[in-house]
Structure formats: C-alpha cells, structure tokens
Amino acid sequence: MAVLNRKNSPTSNTAGDTNISKGTLSKRCSETFKAALRIHGGTVSNTVPAAAGLVETLVVKFPQNSLVNTISRKRKLCEKVFPQIYNKKVQEFETSEQNQLRSISVYFAKGVMGKRKYRSVCKTLSMKRSKKKGKKFERLKIMSCKVSKLLPYEKLMACVKSIDIGWIGNVREDFCYDFDEEDKVEGCYRSLTQFLPFMASFYLRVSQENLLWFNNKINTFHVVVGGDGAPFGKDETACSWLVSFLNRGRHILSSNENFLIFGANCSESSLVVQRYVKFLFSEMSEIENKTFQVNGTEVKFTFSEFPNDLKMLAFLAGELSVSATYFSTFANVNTGNCDVVSGTFGPGPTHTWQPWRYNQRVAMAKEVEKLKLKLEKQKGSKVSKRKKVTSLISDKKSRQEFVPLLGQFVDRAHIEPLHPKNNACQQLFRRILYESIGKSALDKSVVHFDQVPSSAPFSRLVNCLQKTAKLPRLAKKVRRWFNETNASGSDFQYRFTGQDSRMFLHNFMLVIDSLKQPADSEKQTFTLHVFAYICLQLRQIVSIVCRVVSIRLQDITQLKGYCSNLFRACCLFTSSISPTIWSIGHIIPAHALEVFNKYQLGLNCVSMEGRESKHMAIGRYSTNTNFSGRWGQIFSHEFVQLVWLRERGFYEEENLQHKQTYIPKRVTNGESCFCGFEIGPQEQKCHYCSHKYMDQIEKSIKLGKLLVDKKLI
C-alpha cells in the first residue's frame, strides 16, 4: 500500500523538480538515511560509510544526465561543495608548468605584449571590480569557482630568463674592438657552427614529415642566408641577417621560418657588417665540409641560396655600390647594349651577355688593389684618386672593386624575385600614368588635382585606381604628387608594395581602359594595346615566379617565353629598357631554370618575402625594450616564440595561400577575357585582344622586329 502511494506521488516529476510537501520530503530523506546507515554499516556518530555508499550508488546506478539534472538544482553542492574541490585544483594549476607555458604563450602570441599590456590582460582575464568595502578588485568566479590566473609578470619573466637560448655573441666586443668609443654599435650575433645543428635537430623533431630533401640526399639541409637593413622607425639604422631552410618548402615565405643570426645598429654596408660577413664566410666554408651528429643522425649543411636585394648583393660580391653602366651582379650587361632585341644570356661565347666569372672577379679586384697601393704613395685629393679607381674599373668593362666577401659562394646567388616584381609593376604603372597626363593636355593653369576636368583621362585614371582597381593608396599618392609637382618634371616615385602589385596585376586592364577616349588617335590606341600586352606578360611571369612548390618544367619553359615577350615588347615599343626589365627578360628565366634543376622548386624560394615580414616581427620584438639591451632581448624573444614555444606545441602555421594568386578569379573561371577585361556573350576575346594591333604586336615580337607603321610608336 505504502509503495503504491509513493508510486502515485514520487519525490520528483520526470524533469527532476521535487513536487511533494516539505514534510513528506523530509520524512523520505530520514528513511533513506536510516536505510543507508544500515546497508553500509554506519552509525549515527559515524555517517561517513552511508555518505560513501550513497555517492557510490549515485555514481554507479544513475546515468550522467540525470545526475547533472538533479545535482545542478542543489546550490549547496554547486556553490559550496564543488567549488571547494575545484578551487584547490585551480591553485595547483596556477603553479603548474602548463600554466607557465600558457602564460608565456600569451605573452609572445603574434609579437611581444610588454609588461603593462600583459599585466592588464592578466587582470582583465581573472579579476573584476569589487563591491566589498576596502577592496578594489576581486577574483572573477563562476558558481564560486575561481577563474584561473595567468602567471604574474615577475614570475613570467623569471621563467623566460631561465630559458637557454644558446650562444649569443656581442657585436660591440667582437666586431668593433678597435673603433672609437662613439662609433661602436650595439648588437648580437649567433655562430652558425652552433646554431645550424641546433636548428636541424629542432626541425627533425617538430616537423620531420614536412621537410623536403633534394636529389635523394636525406638529412642534408639547404641553408638560405641573407642580410638587409631592418628599420626600427626613422631614427635608427639597423641591419639584420637571417637564416632559413629550403627544406621547409613554401613555408620559407613565412617570417616564422626566418631566424636571426645577426642584428646590430649599423648600416648594412658598414665595416661592422663587412667583418661579420668575413666571419660568416669562414664559418660557412668550414661547415660545408663537415658532418654533424644530431640526435644520433648524421646531418650535413650546404649553403644554397642568398636572397638579398641588389644593393646588398653588390656589397657581398665586392662590386661598386653604384655602377651606372654595368648595372647587374648577374651579367656583364651594360646600359649601352641592354636593348638588343634578340640578345640572349648564357655562359657561352655566342651569348650577348654572360655571367661574371669568379676568376675574372678576383683578377679585377687584384688590379684595383694594385692601383690603390700605387695611389696611396702619390699626392692628390681623395676625390681624384677615387676617380682613377672607378675609371680603371669601367675601362676594364667591369663593376668589380674587391674580392667578393662571400668568396665563391657568390656564384650560387640567384635573383630575388620580390623586388623586380614590385619595381616592374611600378614602372609600367608610371608609363600608364604619364600617358594619361599627356593625353589629358592639361592647361598650365591647372595646378591642383581638383582642377583636372573629370572627363580627362588623367582624372579617369585616378578615379579608376580609387574605385574599380582597388588601389586607393596609389590614387592618393598620384593626387599628392600632382599637387606638389604639377607633373612638370619630377618623376612619380612611389614604391609598390606586394599588395599594390597584386591589385595592379589583377586589374591592369581596367586601369588601361580608363585612358581610352572616343577621339583617340591611332597612335594613342596602339599605345593602349602595347600596355595591355606588356602588363599581361608581366602578370603571367609573376604568376609562375611567385610559386615555391607545384611547379613543373613546362611552367619554366612558358616563363621563358613570357619573359622574352616582355623584354622584346619593351625594346620595340617603348623608349628605354630599365635594369629591372632587362633582368626580368633574361636573368629571371635563366635563374628560375637553375633553381628548378637544383631543387624542383620555383624561383620564389629565393624571395625576400618572409624576410621582409620578419622585419616587422623584429620591430614588434623591439617594442618595450630599452636601447642598450635591445638586440639581446630581440634574440631572446624570437627564440622563445619561434623555437621554444613551438617545441612545446604552441605554434600557428601562417596561411600563405592568399598571397600567391596573381591571376584573377574571373580569368580562371572563364568569365572574362584571358587578359582580365570584360567580354560580350559568346565572345572568346575582349576588344583589345581581338584588335588588329594586338596581332601586329605579337607578330613583331615573334620576329624580333617592327612590323607596324613607325608612326604608331
């Protein structure tokens, strides 16, 4: 009877709400309690066995969701019992290694936070304003459970300082020993003999499956070395050298894969850097002849690529810093013969231009040294002596002054594609800009951009940059340049960024078309077609050159064709050949082939892209550092973020995919003409590409001579 009654009025409904009277509930509890004491062998003075038995019953006999459901209704359990258990664990966690790691990772995530920001983040994460009297802040709690705290700043720093970052040398002591006190510079450097095996071991541990090996030589690391000015704001000159490894494939373009080996407050071609490079060279020569034991594996190193800008490369090759006539480190081309339409580059005597040979470099350097010794004994001003030196070099049709700092390694250097790409985009844009101004035939009274009639090609060009071509920064620079100079003589100087180049190559047809007028003369129409042709070649070149992986021999063959087209078009249809255009025409395809034959990689593996973004990272590491200890801290921060934390699983791979598309989607999915311009329904080609001029341009280029009326050019 009693059992039936209870079945008819159970202690709770199916949802878990108690819905019987308080009296009945308390009676039922007493009964359960007594029964539990009896069953589990407890007494009124020792209830522990009953509690243990009841909890055991709860855990074993009830499904988890009904426990969650019923227990979450009990404030005593939720806000008193569990927090007491949990808070003890939080305390343990806060002193654990896990929390140390977590805190260090927070401090170093995407650049260094700095003391004040870190402290403020710590506070925001786990504290709140207190309502209690005399207390400003109290711990943030959820159901009385404390939110765990990050490590306090001082403890964090103590942890960071205890991390062994390997041997670091002092630039001031080791490379400035004989300088006057005020000329000494601050800086740090690493020894490759120590650092390379360390990095090899690191990569073998953290990303072995992602390492590429070349020509079946497993465990041979291909080291990439280069240096550059690293700007820290306007007032400080700085120079940094970085290493990376070709074995990391396309990741080499990430700043996280480029590691500092030298950083100092000096210019990139100073005596300090000269001394450092000599040290580097001696290390490199020794390392290549050795085998290293790394985690029980035999490892070798070879110095493969030297991504440097042209100025740094000239410095490393011992060449004149400014050699106007012989402008290339890679070939004996000069301004007098760089526009030979059908000229070729290669090592043989039949080629128009050949690479500089190492023994020629050394022979020339010796002659220069002899002359310098002779001049030292003679009277005369410094300027006139210098002139004698430079005229000797130019008389010998050379640009060589010293023995290359990098020794024979200089022969391994390949052209870096990032700067030629941006420079070429800039130069082509400049031609389009000047054409637009010429066509606009502006009155002399027009001295401000606002006065330019909106129908003028110049105004339409700027408008197109601003709106449709997605180049608003460029539009702004053009307006400012016009307002400052009225386009009367001084060149439009603006360095294209990677983003500018990408947008320009995506949208050049829109930019070119903005210049079109119904009343265009034949010559003006022809010019637009030349622009369209050249820009399209450049886009195709860049789309191949910007790859590190996924490249085939046929891509390199195509590249050679596009490069030759671009060069010939510039020779035949434009007034001059710039060193950039010459290098794209001849050095880029030759070096792309060499690099492909060596590693089956694209030329972008020599790119400075990762290095340029590393400069920004160095800038971030340097914030919150004081001047004297700056480089030490930068080296330490870099190591902790890129090596130490990464070994412990805190690492985000950078997404680099988006940077590699130079061909717009509308072209790849066939919505537009191949050049990127709009097409009508049922049309294969736009009205530029199907124009008779385009056909004439193509034929002229194929034959390497003009097949069009000279009046058009």
Q: Which residues bind Zn ion (CB under 5 A)?
A: 673, 675, 677, 686, 688-689
Of 138 and 683, CB closest to Zn ion: 683
Q: Look up residue 570 and give its two tokens.
A: 């510039």
Nearer to Zn ion, 452 or 686 (CB): 686
Q: With respect to Zn ion, which residue has the nearer C-beta, 369 or 698?
A: 698
* Cβ(232)–Cβ(619) below 8 Å: yes
Name which of 349 and 680 has its Cβ closer to Zn ion: 680
11: Cα separation from own chain's centroid: 66
| Assigned token pair, 92 | 């343990």
Residue nearer to Zn ion on the CB measure, 225 or 686: 686
Tokens encoding 596: 């492909």
CA–CA separation, 316 and 400 (whole Å)? 11
Euclidean distance between CA atoms 422 and 427, whole angstroms: 9
Query: Are the C-beta atoms of residues 638 and 253 closer than 8 Å to each other?
Result: no
Is the CB of 253 or the CB of 673 nearer to Zn ion?
Answer: 673
Q: 276 or 677, CB closer to Zn ion?
A: 677
Q: What is the 3-state secondary structure (H, E, C) of 127-169?
A: EEECCCCCCCEEECEECCEECCCCCCHHHHHHHHHCCCCCCCE
In angstroms, what is the minimal distance from the CB of 541 to Zn ion?
17
Residue 687 Cβ vs Zn ion, minimum distance, rounded to whole Å: 8
CB of 321 to Zn ion, least distance (A): 43
Of 41 and 670, CB closest to Zn ion: 670
Give the C-alpha separation, 511 to 532, whole Å: 10
Nearer to Zn ion, 192 or 528 (CB): 528
- Reference 621, options 609, 610, 630; nearest CA is 630
Choose between 548 and 697: whose C-beta lies nearer to Zn ion: 697
Please state, in angstroms and rounded to a whole number, the distance separating the CA atoms of residues 599 and 628.
42
Closest CA to 287 of 254, 243, 248: 243
In whole angstroms, the minimum distance from the beta carbon of 679 to Zn ion comes to 7
Could you give the C-alpha distances from 579 to 9, 416, 504, in angstroms and in order?
A: 95, 14, 21
Q: Kindly state the DSSP code that residue 78 receives in the 8-state scheme.
A: I
Pairing of strands 297-305, 220-229: parallel
Q: How far is the CB of 507 from Zn ion (least distance, A)?
A: 13
SS3 of 225, please?
strand
Q: Helix 553-573 crosses helix 692-703 at what angle (to 10 degrees)?
A: 100
Q: Which is nearer to Zn ion, 390 or 672 (CB)?
A: 672
Distance CA 492, CA 431 (A): 10
Smaller CB separation from Zn ion, 244 or 514:
514
**Residue type, position 49, single letter:** P
* In the complex, minimum distance from the CB of residue 664 to Zn ion, in angstroms, rounded to a whole number: 12
Write down the least CB distance from residue 530 to Zn ion, Å.
14
Smallest distance from Zn ion to CB 326, Å: 38
Smallest separation (angstroms) from Zn ion to the CB of 691: 9
Q: Which two tokens stand for residue 29?
A: 């509890």
Nearest distance from C-beta of residue 524 to Zn ion, angstroms: 18
- 251-to-328, 400, 493, 505 alpha-carbon distances in Å: 29, 35, 32, 24
CB 165 within 8 A of CB 640: yes
Least spacing, CB of residue 487 vs Zn ion, in Å: 29
The answer to whether 79 and 143 have CB atoms below 8 angstroms apart is yes
Compute the least distance from the CB of residue 701 to Zn ion, in Å: 17
Distance between CA atoms of residues 562 and 542, nearest Å: 10
- Dist. CA 667–CA 693, nearest whole Å: 22
- DSSP-derived secondary structure letter, 353: B
Give the up-direction half-sphere exposure of residue 395: CA atoms within 13 A in the CB hemisphere: 8
Closest CA to 276 of 406, 369, 181: 406
Taking the complex as a whole, the smallest distance from the CB of residue 569 to Zn ion amounts, in Å, to 16
Looking at beta carbons only, is 411 or 520 nearer to Zn ion? 520
